[in-house]
Amino acid sequence: MRTQAAVPDITAALAEVAQEVDATLDRLLPLHEDADGRLMEAIRYSTLSGGKRIRPFLVLSGAELFDVSRPFALRTAAAIEMVHSYSLIHDDLPAMDNDTLRRGMPTCHVRFDEATAILAGDGLLTRAFEVLADPATHTDPRVRADLVVELARASGVDGMVGGQMLDLLAEHRTLGMAEVTRMQRMKTGALIAFSCEAGAILGKRSDGDRHALRAYAHDLGLAFQIVDDLLDIEGDAETVGKTTGKDTEAGKATFVSLLGVERARNQSAMLAHQAVEHLAVFGEAAEPLRSLASFIVERRN
Amino acid sequence: MRTQAAVPDITAALAEVAQEVDATLDRLLPLHEDADGRLMEAIRYSTLSGGKRIRPFLVLSGAELFDVSRPFALRTAAAIEMVHSYSLIHDDLPAMDNDTLRRGMPTCHVRFDEATAILAGDGLLTRAFEVLADPATHTDPRVRADLVVELARASGVDGMVGGQMLDLLAEHRTLGMAEVTRMQRMKTGALIAFSCEAGAILGKRSDGDRHALRAYAHDLGLAFQIVDDLLDIEGDAETVGKTTGKDTEAGKATFVSLLGVERARNQSAMLAHQAVEHLAVFGEAAEPLRSLASFIVERRN
């Protein structure tokens, strides 16, 4: 695994991906002129407000392994980012995590209102599937249908939505390590895994390549979440860009509360290292994915 | 157009479709055993709680015109009903229409809680796309991708979700006839139109057949909405199964407030008659769709 030295490169590479994906999102989410302009305004406010674009970076880096057409990969990356953005809008709602700050800005329901935020999330999720199924995303309709099925599995009741439900239920009881791991795999891991696998789906690759990327994503996703938990404890809202200390306040079990800071930090490094080992089969072409693993455990927001 | 005499047949036909679709939904939304069981319980509570299943009836009747395999049509009908059900769950939320009664039962957020209701809606919408894109819904992946695109268009920002936004904004200003018509076409018309068109998509039919079904659905959808507005004024909650008189109370413009009861009733009959004329090209095979048009304008809930 690369260390500190890789980080400046990856920061520039992430910024480049962010610019490309933002341009794609800007085109796929055009502002309406008339009365329903408010809805698209809320969608754009939440989706085009920065963010590290880690999922798009995974899609594009995975797609590069298999010479996938860049426009196909960008549309897929944008669709996944739409789903990520919708999940943040809904998770921030008063009835859910009741967050007022996101990426250093008022959350969608604070800036607009609750009804608009709910509908903006619904509209984003719907648009994501429309984008994936559209002929512009791949010439082979089988690939498009496959992308839709896998995105739905990653983000639905057996994935992200189910994970958020488990997270909410965790406020009423203390979870153990196995339960926290399962909850996080569903809540954030499944979409990260799909982001990696999408490149192989777009490239019509064998199960072997798909599994290698999933295994990488599996470990990377957990490492990512452990670092999130560490930042929630150690970071300040200004650097992290969202309210910190919330999990501790809510008495929720996290990787940090279960392992302690030191072991959690070691665990995240170990998982990132393990993630990178799954990439051996792809050789040097997987260098961006290796750099990302270092970035994930060293990030400060 | 058939008159009163057709209604007993159509009632039986609707009940038969409801039974078949409910069995399909029951299979596609299996109850979970573990901690996240609550989410699927909420989904099943809202989706398997009766309802007239008019959209599934449209899908199945359309599919019968083109000899589409029944299991394909049933899965498509179930997916559309999932989207309809999710829209009701979200529309009923306190931040939206704040409804406590639906199909004579407590709404999802009343029976469970707001967070669960939001996630149940999200999970249902996601599952609908998964079902359509799954190989079990059609052998031809192009058809599956096409179904996904058209469902997304009908239910997203330019369709149902956008229509609900316009409806919410209408609480703050008075809409004219053109605006109410546009809002209703988006809010309820688009999904009804897709329900009709889905049979032709599954049957891989020409644009001509698709357009004829859309034109039927276009008129039927408006007739349906006008009757809804009439029932909101004239019905009692017990018969209609949901809170009535809400639009009047909120001072919202409806077809009835704009046209008056008598003209609204005439208008709905005229639209149903006009809807049926678009079916001439399909001959006797379209009899169920003709009967439905009569049923729509004569229904009491």
Q: What pLDDT, on the 0 to 100 scale, is given for residue B244?
A: 66
Taking CB atoms and an 8 Å cut-off, how many pairs form between chains A and B? 157
Q: What pLDDT, on the 0 to 100 scale, is given for residue A183?
A: 93
Mean per-residue pLDDT, A66-72: 97
Q: What pLDDT, on the 0 to 100 scale, is given for residue A276?
A: 97
* Cβ atoms of B95 and B81 closer than 8 Å: no
Kindly indicate the confidence band of residue A250, based on its pLDDT and cuts at 50, 70 and 90. Answer: confident
Q: What pLDDT, on the 0 to 100 scale, is given for residue A34?
A: 63
Mean per-residue pLDDT, A134-157: 98
- Phi, psi (5° rounding) for residue A101? -130, 135
Residue A239 has pLDDT above 90, yes or no: no
Mean per-residue pLDDT, A44-50: 93
Kindly indicate the confidence band of residue B62, based on its pLDDT and cuts at 50, 70 and 90. Answer: very high
Contact B145 A146 (CB under 8 A): no
Q: What pLDDT, on the 0 to 100 scale, is given for residue A175?
A: 87
Kindly indicate the confidence band of residue A173, based on its pLDDT and cuts at 50, 70 and 90. Answer: confident
Identify the weakest region by mean pLDDT among A90-94, A205-209, B7-11, B91-95.
B7-11
Most confident of A232-246, B165-179, B274-288: B274-288
Angstrom CA distances, B274 to A246, B221, B280, B299, stand at 58, 12, 11, 18
Give the residue from chain A lying closest to B164, CA to CA: A119
Mean per-residue pLDDT, A1-25: 79
Kindly indicate the confidence band of residue B242, based on its pLDDT and cuts at 50, 70 and 90. Answer: low
Residue B9 has pLDDT above 70, yes or no: yes
Residue A240 has pLDDT above 80, yes or no: no
Q: What pLDDT, on the 0 to 100 scale, is given for residue A292?
A: 95
- Residues of B with Cβ-Cβ distance to A115 under 8 angstroms: 93, 95-96, 168
Measured distance CA(A210)–CA(A45) in Å, rounded: 34
Q: What pLDDT, on the 0 to 100 scale, is given for residue A2?
A: 41
- Residues of B with Cβ-Cβ distance to A118 under 8 angstroms: 90, 93, 95-96, 118
Q: What pLDDT, on the 0 to 100 scale, is given for residue B238?
A: 62
Mean per-residue pLDDT, B129-136: 98
Q: What pLDDT, on the 0 to 100 scale, is given for residue A33?
A: 66
Angle ∠(A103,A163,A156) on CA atoms, nearest 5: 95
* Cβ atoms of A13 and A53 closer than 8 Å: no
More confident residue, A281 or A36: A281
Considering only CB atoms, A141 lies closest to which of B40, B113, B145, namely: B145
Give the residue from chain A lying closest to B131, CA to CA: A149
Which DSSP letter does residue A245 get?
S
Q: What pLDDT, on the 0 to 100 scale, is given for residue A1?
A: 43
For chain B, the average pLDDT equals: 91
Contact A38 B165 (CB under 8 A): yes
- What percentage of chain B carries pLDDT values higher than 70? 92
For chain A, the average pLDDT equals: 91
**Nearest C-alpha of chain B: how many angstroms from A154?**
10
Q: What pLDDT, on the 0 to 100 scale, is given for residue A118?
A: 98
Give the residue from chain A lying closest to B93, CA to CA: A115
pTM over 0.90: yes
Identify the weakest region by mean pLDDT among A75-89, A161-175, B138-152, B207-221.
A161-175
Where on the phi/psi map is residue B4: left (φ > 0), alpha (ψ -120 to 50), or beta?
Answer: alpha
- Residues of B with Cβ-Cβ distance to A125 under 8 angstroms: 122, 125-126
Mean per-residue pLDDT, A84-101: 96
Angstrom CA distances, B275 to A88, B224, B254, B271, stand at 42, 11, 21, 6
Measured distance CA(A151)–CA(B202) in Å, rounded: 23
* Cβ atoms of B40 and B93 closer than 8 Å: no
* Cβ atoms of A36 and B157 closer than 8 Å: yes
Give residue A151's identity as a one-letter amino acid code: L
Q: What pLDDT, on the 0 to 100 scale, is given for residue B252?
A: 81
Mean per-residue pLDDT, A119-133: 98
Q: What pLDDT, on the 0 to 100 scale, is given for residue A279?
A: 97
Considering only CB atoms, A162 lies closest to which of B36, B161, B168, namely: B36
Residue A111 has pLDDT above 60, yes or no: yes
Kindly indicate the confidence band of residue B236, based on its pLDDT and cuts at 50, 70 and 90. Answer: low
Mean per-residue pLDDT, B123-143: 98
Contact A130 B153 (CB under 8 A): yes
Identify the weakest region by mean pLDDT among A1-10, B52-61, B106-115.
A1-10
Domains of chain A in sequence order: 4-298 (1.10.600.10)
* Cβ atoms of B21 and B78 closer than 8 Å: yes
Identify the weakest region by mean pLDDT among A4-8, A244-248, B27-31.
A4-8
- Residues of B with Cβ-Cβ distance to A146 under 8 angstroms: 133
Contact B161 A123 (CB under 8 A): yes
Give the residue from chain B lying closest to A83, CA to CA: B126
Q: What pLDDT, on the 0 to 100 scale, is given for residue B300?
A: 75
Residue B78's closest CA among B139, B19, B21? Answer: B21
- What percentage of chain B carries pLDDT values higher than 90? 78
Q: What pLDDT, on the 0 to 100 scale, is given for residue A6?
A: 46
Identify the weakest region by mean pLDDT among A37-51, B37-51, B153-167, B249-263.
B249-263
Residue A242 has pLDDT above 70, yes or no: no
Element (H, E) at A190: helix A190-202
Give residue A73's identity as a one-letter amino acid code: A
